[in-house]
Structure 1
């Protein structure tokens, strides 16, 4: 059986690392990288650290509006599919790469299998929501990470092709945490390219969504909250957001925020595991905080992973200093028996269903 797997963004590389390891035991997998994340620290380093096979195709498509990027991807992926003639196409998550691959495949009558299906915000203003809904409805098999995702698929009449498999992000976290470096082995590089050390005590933040970073005012309010904390905040900055973050910190003389270039996956899970608390707007990092038992504040309007919203383990906050601080001072309640993301073997289940 020949499978074409399409990836393009950091979270997809992580999931593909564990699924491809199983898939290649039984199938001929062709890996396509759309190029949506093209920066070394957002792309190449993940293939190196996670031992992901080198892409058979790198389409080099990035930048532009959602429509421009998705359109170019559909055209390029269609050429790959016509050339490779796979039995199935495998996609992950909810990026433009996901939707483009799904549309290109279904129009060529190639079955689409979607990992991380069924997640819903119930908000079509969010571009990822559009991507995931469209992908789910044209897919042949839907692999859901959680019970809530299965419930959403059932409401949309898709339960007959849905499978509850667990979360491959949890598989990856469980596997790679064992080889992640300690604090002394984490290599941080500031925005000027100079190496910087990790404090013994720190908070860890990622913030990249357009709704949080498209104006100085909103990002400044988030950074002001970090500046007021009782320990430094390590903030690896997305490439498109670096200059704004640097300008705000310099303008306001913020000294309690460590701006760095993006970090690799092993460094990121090490930073999560050793941090006091996590502040993020990333769907992936809030799960990794949950896996590590670290309290998280998610700067976002909608619940992405309802399973994490228990015992103050994950709380939503506005891009507002007072709201973020109010959520950070609450204490979380841990329940070691609560495992909503599976048992760390979702990749085997996904592979088993794909090759049936």
Structure 2
């Protein structure tokens, strides 16, 4: 390998939450003078081809060098298929390192294949912990961090989590949040909510809440799902809710016979939205109710009150410094947090350290030096 071409970093993207994280990384790695050369593998874990294309186009992500086309399946099936299809890619490309982001099945699957073939693993968004091992993502995070040679964190507390798990601080670098890089890069281009809601009527354009639900713990249990939807219907009578519905969530509502619960409520059901559309909806919302990890971060960056419908969060900085309140799924707690937002404006929050849009550049700089040291060793 010549110095002119730089170290070859094979970057992996798998599902929708990864797209926003990989975009600034690819941009920074492929910039002139970075000392790095990035190629991209899309595992196909996110199997909606139209939505994948929309995200890649909106975020200016280059077309993948390789698309594994894995598709859906159980956690075991999906992880196994990714591993089987990723190994020949490593054999063909012989990268200097494999970079994975986040906590989806693609993250752990590709990290595991790489480390068994002696290829260094780099984990972006390392060290986040919810403490809930019932979440598949928590298992993916813990195992990926144990396999990684270089770990980039979004908040200072992540290094403490990693040290408790026996990972040397020499491997860990606090660089900030690449999700926020993408948000800041695209904020001026966000689709105005008025455009997305043009046909919804004045009740929505005069002020709305944004709702997302997709966690298995919330949507797979009909009792929990009914409780959540019943409370959200009550909230919608005061603040109409815009609800881009994940296909899996829509199926669970139908299968549980809960369509009647939300029928006639001031809840606008939308199909899954592109990144720029969701960014505009978040920016303009009075309040966001969600079980998404990434949205907790994005609302903190935007200064929009966020109510998290989960028992825990792996992103404590959004609670400690940001606009996020974690309430669980009980009606009384949700209602209390909602009232605090409507009556008092919610938590003001502040911008966490290094959430400045430069995280990917820091990663590229550290990685170029690290790769140089590895090549000289």
TM-score normalised over the length of structure 2: 0.88
Deviation at 1:41, TM superposition (A): 5.7
Which blocks of at least 5 consecutive residues in structure 1 are unaligned?
189-194
1:184 is aligned to 2:194: yes
Q: Which residue of 2 aligns with 1:192?
A: none
Secondary structure (helix, strand or coil) at the match of 1:309 reads: helix
Question: Do residues 288 (structure 1) and 298 (structure 2) align?
Answer: yes
Q: 1:40 to 1:276 in 2, by over 3 A?
A: farther
Question: Matched residues in 2 for 1:293 and 1:41: separation?
Answer: 31
User: Hey, which bits of structure 1, 4+ residues long, moved more than 4 A?
Assistant: 195-198
> Relative to total residues, which structure has the larger helix share, 1 or 2?
2
Q: 1:327 aligns with which of 325, 329, 337?
A: 337
2:23 is aligned with 1:14: no
What are the ranges of 5 or more consecutive residues in structure 2 without an aligned counterpart? 1-6, 370-377
Aligned-pair CA distance for 1:326:
1.3
Of the candidates 46, 51, 58, which is equivalent to residue 37 of structure 1? 46
| Cα distance between partner residues in 2 of 1:42 and 1:294 | 25
Is the 1:41–1:262 contact (alpha carbons within 8 Å) kept by the matching residues of 2?
A: no
Report whether the alignment pairs 1:309 with 2:319. Answer: yes
Q: Which residue of 1 aligns with 2:375?
A: none
CA distance in 2, matches of 1:66, 1:131: 11
Alpha-carbon distance in structure 2 between the residues aligned to 1:42 and 1:83: 29
Q: What does residue 220 of structure 1 align with?
A: 226
Q: Which moved more, 1:215-224 or 1:90-99?
A: 215-224
Alignment partners' CA distance in 1, 2:282 and 2:76: 34
Higher-Rg structure is 2
Write the distance in 2 (CA, Å) between the matches of 1:41 and 1:279. Answer: 26
| 2:152 paired with 1:138 | no
Name the CA distance, whole Å, in 1 between partners of 2:179 and 2:22.
9
- 2:233, 2:262 within 8 Å by CA — same for their partners in 1? no
CA RMSD of aligned residues (A): 1.9
Aligned length in residues:
349
1:163 aligns with 2:173: yes
Instruction: State yes or no: 1:342 paired with 2:350.
Output: no
| Structure 2 residue 17 is the aligned partner of structure 1 residue 3 | no
Deviation, 1:156, is 2.2
Q: Is the 8 A contact 1:311 1:333 kept in 2?
A: no
Matched, 1:126 2:132: no
Distance 1:311 1:18, change over 3 A: closer
Structure 1 residue corresponding to 2:242, chosen from 207, 211, 234: 234
Tell me which moved more, 179-188 or 296-305: 179-188
* Structure 2 Cα separation of the partners of residues 172 and 310 of structure 1: 22
Once the two structures are superposed, residues 73-131 of structure 1 have per-residue CA deviations (whole angstroms, 9 ceiling, x without a partner) of: 11111111111111110100111100011001001111111000001122322211111
Between 1:35-44 and 1:157-166, the stretch displaced more is 35-44
1:311 and 1:121, CA in 2 relative to 1: closer, same or farther beyond 3 A? closer
Measured in 2, the distance between the counterparts of 1:90 and 1:185 equals 37
State how far apart, in whole Å, the 2-side matches of 1:252 and 1:150 are: 43
Does structure 1 residue 153 correspond to structure 2 residue 169?
A: no
Tell me the equivalent position of 1:76.
85
